Amino acid sequence: MPLPESELGRLLTRLADWLPEELERWLPGWLAGGGVPPAPAPPWVPAPDQPVADWQRDVAAVRAATDAWATHLTVAVRELAGQLLGDEQAVAARLLNGAAGSKPAAGGAARPPAITDAMVPRPGGAVPVRLVRPRAGAAGGAGGAGGAGDAMPAVVQVHGGGYWMGGGRIQRPVLEPGYQRLADAVGALVVDVQVRLVPEHPYPAPIDDVRAVLAWLRRHAELLSVDPERIALCGLSSGANTVTVAALLDAAGADAADAAGADGADAADAPASIAALALVVPSLDLTYYGPAHRDPEQRAARDAQLAAYLGDLPADDPLASPALAADVTGLPPTAMVLAEHDDVVGGGPLLAEKLAAQGVPAETLTVPGLHAVQLPTDQLRADEFLGEFLRRRFERP
């Protein structure tokens, strides 16, 4: 753990007293609006004799409450860091929270975010996505890194939240400022994918949703002004697991198409490879138990969460824990942001080592902090690291 005299140590020490005080302030307003209290987990299965519709309503209520508290907490912790640690952290906190997000990096008049919503078809339904385009005058420039006429790169983004929360309209206030900064910095279309969540939709539903969005982007690349050869996947925590597994499956599909071509079949319609993978505090080994799960009750809660997601799939299967895959050569060049004292997830360093050993470009940035708590300046440094990585991967010769 960081030393108490460090900035991060001071923030963590303050949080120990501040968190219960902040919850006590926030909760009455939420309950007055008809909400239920936030919880560490929803009911993973219906109660005996409980109608499925009632169970789904209970899950949705817990998810909404926990998303709302997490959103409030994210913004408030950043502001607390600024108040406690001075101007540099305060400026970074305001930028992360979107206060400075209405102005493109290249200057000029403020413009509203270039955001639209769409529904992407998938078997049996549709995947909600939010499309965040770079704003006029942004540093990324027309056509994205390196330019390609009017076709820009695309970054498919999946949120975290333990497979059961973390997305939707409640979380957008903390997610969208970062998506807009990324779109502006890289000159890319950022596609915020609202994957299906557990317990209603277990494995492989979120992975299938990402693959459906990938297919949609490739199929409608010209209409969307997207370059299908410059599509990256980006994920946070559990979302990083989802996009990494999707990338492994995508590569396996491309290999099958190549094999068909070698046998004389027409492989002209084989999709372009994914250009890059960007992972933030990634959960890539689901057999791993971090410091947050050392208590038997916490470990049991983790087991219940993973059972709700994985079903009968073993946690050590590479399609559950991609860091445990023997062959990772199918993955694209990868960048990871790791938390120095991550108390929740594992597998990132292991996958980085395997990628490097097997000749796949891999870059890592380790920032001080826990899984969910870093200083605002370090969060911005991580954003800049990933933005620079994606710019280089998207550049054309």
Same domain, 138 and 224: yes
Query: Which residue, of 68, 96, 124, is where some domain finishes?
Result: 96
* Same-domain pairing of 386 and 319: yes
Give the pLDDT score at 107.
43
261/362 same-domain check: yes
Range of the domain at 31: 7-96
Instruction: Return the pLDDT at 206.
Output: 98
Whether residues 84 and 121 fall in one domain: no
Count of residues making up the chain: 397
Same domain for 345 and 312 = yes
Task: Enter the pTM of the model.
Answer: 0.92
Which pLDDT value is given to residue 267?
A: 47
C-alpha distance from residue 292 to each of 302, 323, 346, 352 (Å): 10, 20, 12, 23
Based on the fold, state whether residues 79 and 163 are members of the same structural domain. Answer: no
- Cα–Cα distance for residue pair 327/40, rounded to 1 Å: 35
Confidence (pLDDT) at 347 = 98
What pLDDT score was predicted for residue 68?
A: 95
Q: Which residues, 6 or more positions from 178, have their beta carbon under 8 angstroms from its beta carbon?
A: 96, 383
Q: What was the pLDDT predicted at 259?
A: 47
Same domain, 189 and 324: yes
Q: Contact at 8 Å (CB) between 127 and 195? A: yes
Q: What is the mean pLDDT of each run of 10 residues along the chain (397 residues)?
A: 73 95 96 95 96 97 96 95 96 85 41 80 97 83 55 97 90 88 96 98 98 97 96 98 98 64 51 93 97 93 96 97 97 98 96 98 97 96 98 91
In the listed set 38, 64, 96, which residue is the last one of a domain according to the structure? 96
d(CA 220, CA 228): 9
Total structural domains in the chain? 2
The candidate with the shortest Cα–Cα distance to 374, out of 3, 5, 9, 4, is 9
Examine the domain organization and report whether 123 and 44 are in the same domain: no
Within this chain, do residues 75 and 220 fall inside the same structural domain, yes or no?
no
Report DSSP letters for 344-369, one per residue: S---HHHHHHHHHHTT--EEEEEESS
CA distance 39 to 147: 46
Clarify whether residues 66 and 125 are in a common domain: no
CA geometry: angle 171, 247, 173, nearest 5 deg? 10
